[in-house]
Chain A
Amino acid sequence: MSGGSRREFATGIDISRALRFRFNNRSYVGHPGDTLASALLANGVQLLARSFKYHRPRGILAAGAEEPNAIVQLGTGEAAEPNLKATEIELFDGLVARSVNCWPSPSFDLRSAYQLAAPLMGAGFYYKTFMWPDWHLFEGPIRRAAGLGIAPQDPDPDRYIHKYAACDVLVVGGGPAGLASAWEAAEAGLDVILAEIDFRLGGSSLWRGERNEAERLEAALRAHANVRVLTRTNVFGYYDHNALVAVEKLDGEGARQRLWKFRAKRVVLATGAIERPLVFANNDRPGVMLASAAQSYLRRWGILHGRQIVVFTNNNSAYEAATSFVEAGADVTIIDVRPRAKIPDIAAVRVLPGHVVKAVVGRRAANGVTIGALDGGQTFTLQCDLVLMSGGWSPTVHLFSQSGGSLRFDEATQSFIPNRAVQAVECVGAAAGELSGLDIEPLWEVPGPGPKFVDFANDVTAKDIGLAREHSFISVEHLKRYTTLGMGIDQGKTSNVNGLAIMGELTARAPGDVGTTKFRPPYTPVTFGALAGPLVGDLYRPVRYLPAHDWHAAHGAVFEEYGGWARPTAYPFPGETWEQAAQREAATARKGCVLLDASPLGKIEVVGKDAGTFLDRIYVGNASSLKVGSARYGLMLNENGIIIDDGVFVRLREDRYLVHTTSSGADRIAAMFDEWLQCEWTGLDVAILPTTTQWATLTVSGPDASEVIRETGTDIDLDDFPHMTFREGSVAQLSARVLRASFTGEASYEISVEASNATQLVGALERAGRPLLLMPMGIEALMILRTEKGFLHVGVDTDGTTLPGDVGMAGPIARKASDFIGRRSLLRQEALREDRLQLVGLQSHKGVLPVGAQVLRDRSVPGPSDGFVTSSYHSPTLDGPVALGLVRAGRSRIGERVKLYDMGEHHSAEIVDTVFFDKAGERLRA
């Protein structure tokens, strides 16, 4: 067996140009138009892989996406792509690839000793043998031994892009049937996209020799204004309403692959058919190949890689391959299982009817076959250097099935073909089951001993299917999972029908009664890079920046993400940790004054004559009774009564409110308002204006806060500006809205200006505050301050079960007559229980309690929980720990000592009131 020279009649390669490439550390030469598989075959490389489980030597079986054996790693380093089929890699100059699953090489593989253990390693072997004490202990080493390619460790350096396209007709498959359909649609004036997985159009015409018509159509389509032709494009998913997804391999367009999202009015599936192997002993040896694949390598790629050829078939299609090889000068013998009466009359080919190939002789290459009559009797051996097989054809119905279409088993072609479509899709050509003249006689398994492979990719033999039957895994889905049939990288394209038909024979069911497993996307593997597209790294989840971000950065801020915003955690001095900085900042807020950027605070204007009525239905408390220029704190619930957000709302005018939400609630709450107005209360005259990002909000807080505002310069009368009121005026000569509300427990002024004026305002405040030692404060210090005050942080001190009464805010409800969202749920029995989790303070006398520590009901671990710590800090002002927690019936247990547990550590605390500092709230009104 040798490579020999490339044949001149090859239609698919340009012999005048050489491409150099390396495979398993050896250098070779191929030509433009080659795949890695064809170039290796042309170089005489026949043994190029080891099988997944038994490490048996393997060669190339197929010529397309169905290849189960020739799995390679393409490229090196971070751009390497694991687990590609050599048959789908277009050769390029400088290509580097290597075999997977063998070491050091496929011809000398140290793990090939696994073959000796093969009799012990049938279906389910791993799961049954490595059970005690836990399969997962064994899984790692076993998966490594049965390895595939290696995923690169470093980030992918390549770019991937996404593109949407709509068309009248999407034709999948550029073979003769697809080309004809595309042409017909284009001529009818329709907008057509033609997608072909190969880098060349033509499909079966590339190896069957009928090139003239295909070339004429290709030229006409490429010139047609209505047609977009995409080659190297794998349409891998078919979803609802004719949405299809494809990945296109790009070459020099700035990105490696493009993910297409098609929406087609009509889809034509011209995806062809895949030839099936026959199942006989050692049918997996290198040198055993699908007949049509061998014909491709001969006619498209000009490789005559056998001189003495045995063709084993149960149908007529292999006679075409046989004839091609005879024409090329090879010696061909056909072993046909069918009786002489069914054999086509072809001169110059020797045919042995009524016989089967019992086994292949040779280990690392086929050098003969054992032949016998189907009904037993004498066997004899025939020498050969290439075995071609054809067990019939399976129409490529994957996409049709994904579209929801049903399949039926067709007796004439012994294959599953499209039955009923549920979307606007039709199959044409071989994909529709047009396989006329096959005259096939089913032969699912050749009787006799020896390893007879059904699934080459996952080393599933006919015996494994028998084992599955013995263990009652006879449903096709059970068969798949028990034996791993069809679960390899090739997804069983050559093996599924053989496997289910053998199971059918074992259980006296026709293949149509066994049925196929569900066809799922992707048709062939797709890289994660293509699916992710450009939305990786910083674009994966873009973070919003404060309008005065640069000012904060210049003042030493350490940024963290809070609800999608990059916000300062703290502003550490040199030598300070951020935790130390937060302590300093919190202490300063109680003694002097601090500056906090509160711009992300949600701002929604609610406008219209029914604005008050609307907000009465939104908030737990009353809104319509609020005076213009005043502010009020409110809780929002969902219909289950659960707290979903809170904040201060302001009445700007009679018909205009400004609603503040939590930073992370801004978008969610605006959407909720809109939903109620559009879907439920359609009669209310209210408009919703989310304005969060139009404003920059800077909060000055602390005993000296009003001094800072005064120094900054304002026309607002600060002597007549009490807590929970609102003023519009100028601050630092900027038009401003100022709200007196406090999340720190100190007198606070929330100053909002146009976002573009943020840096100007913060600079003015900084200058005015310098004599008063104003310093910037981050989120961490704010959290310390609000915990000292027992101020609720929704989502931290509440969870998906917390009702207003649980956090001590049922008061406003009693004073309110009208309905609001969630009110009725507060009357349910569950809501009225006295042993609900309630928010309380937890006073530790020995260190800061960990957040999440569980309150133990009876001191046992593990044991029942009575709640948990929600917020916990060291208070610089009180020089001790402060914590909040949700504790079962907590408010009735004030004064009780409880034990807590977290991550192996025990703690204790006293249940106390939620307010640790300034219980009367005099400071914030100052």
Chain B
Amino acid sequence: MLLLTCPHCGPRDETEFSCGGESHIARPSLEATDDAWADYVFFRTNPMGVTFERWRHAYGCGCWFNVARDVVNHRILATYAMTDPKPATSETAISNGLQQSAELAR
């Protein structure tokens, strides 16, 4: 059970949230090709590592926000607003997350 941090309400149990799937997917226009549209509707990146997804504090304030989560170990690397840009997926970002976990462990 994840511990997610709602930007409005703070850290809460996963049971208060609903996951809206992958974030930062641009919605194509009506003129999009079949392939581009199919990519938007059906295909997701599903990485083994850091994934960017949106969550809603469904049983709380109703706020949508973004979460960068490592799906291998469930570490939350970043929590940020819907309108914020996708954070860097560089080693730095990930190691910052690892550092946080290490601090927790101490």
Contacts and interface: CB of A to CB of B under 8 A. Distances in A.
Given A674-B62, A675-B20, A239 B1 contact: yes
A375 interface: no
Main secondary structure of the interface of A (DSSP, over half): mixed
A243 interface: yes
B80 to A, nearest CB: 13
Interface in A612-649: 639-640
B101 A825 contact: no
Contact of A424 (B73, B83, B105): B105
A423 to B, nearest CB: 7
Contact of A240 (B1, B32, B106): B1
A919 interface: no
B76 to A, nearest CB: 8
A162 B106 CA distance: 30
Contacts of A422: 73
Interface residues of B, number: 30
Contact of A423 (B13, B64, B105): B105
A824 B20 contact: no
Contact of B37 (A239, A671, A824): A824
A737 interface: no
Interface stretch (A91-99, A149-157, A573-581, A678-686): A678-686
Interface string A812-846: 00000001000111001100000000000000000
A671 B64 CA distance: 11
A682 B37 contact: no
A682 B83 CA distance: 8
Contacts of B41: 639-640, 825
B82 A679 contact: yes
A824 B30 contact: yes
Interface residues of A, number: 31
Contact of A679 (B3, B20, B58, B106): B20
Contacts of B101: 424
A828 B28 CA distance: 14
A79 interface: no
Interface in B1-33: 1-3, 13, 20, 23, 27-30, 32
Contacts of B56: 671, 674-675
B78 interface: no
Nearest to B83: A682
A299 B23 CA distance: 61
A828 B34 contact: yes
B7 to A, nearest CB: 11
A20 B2 CA distance: 47
B105 A824 contact: no
A241 B62 contact: no
A403 B73 CA distance: 10
B57 to A, nearest CB: 11
Nearest to A423: B105
A680 B27 contact: yes
B37 A421 contact: no
A241 B58 contact: no
Contacts of A675: 20, 56, 64
Nearest to B102: A424
B64 to A, nearest CB: 4
B73 A404 contact: yes
A678 B82 contact: yes
Contacts of A639: 40-41
Interface in B49-64: 54, 56, 58, 62-64
Contacts of B106: 424
B30 A819 contact: yes
A263 B3 contact: yes
A767 interface: no
A423 B2 CA distance: 12
Contacts of B44: none
Nearest to A683: B83
A679 B32 contact: no
B105 to A, nearest CB: 4
B48 interface: no
Interface of B: 1-3, 13, 20, 23, 27-30, 32, 34, 37-38, 40-41, 54, 56, 58, 62-64, 73-74, 82-83, 101, 104-106
21 contacts: A240-B2, A241-B1, A243-B1, A243-B3, A243-B13, A423-B105, A424-B104, A424-B105, A639-B40, A674-B62, A675-B20, A678-B82, A679-B54, A682-B82, A682-B83, A819-B29, A819-B30, A824-B28, A824-B30, A825-B37, A828-B38
Given A242-B3, A824-B28, 16 more contacts: A240-B1, A240-B2, A240-B74, A241-B74, A243-B1, A261-B13, A266-B104, A404-B73, A424-B106, A639-B40, A678-B82, A679-B54, A682-B83, A823-B30, A824-B30, A824-B32
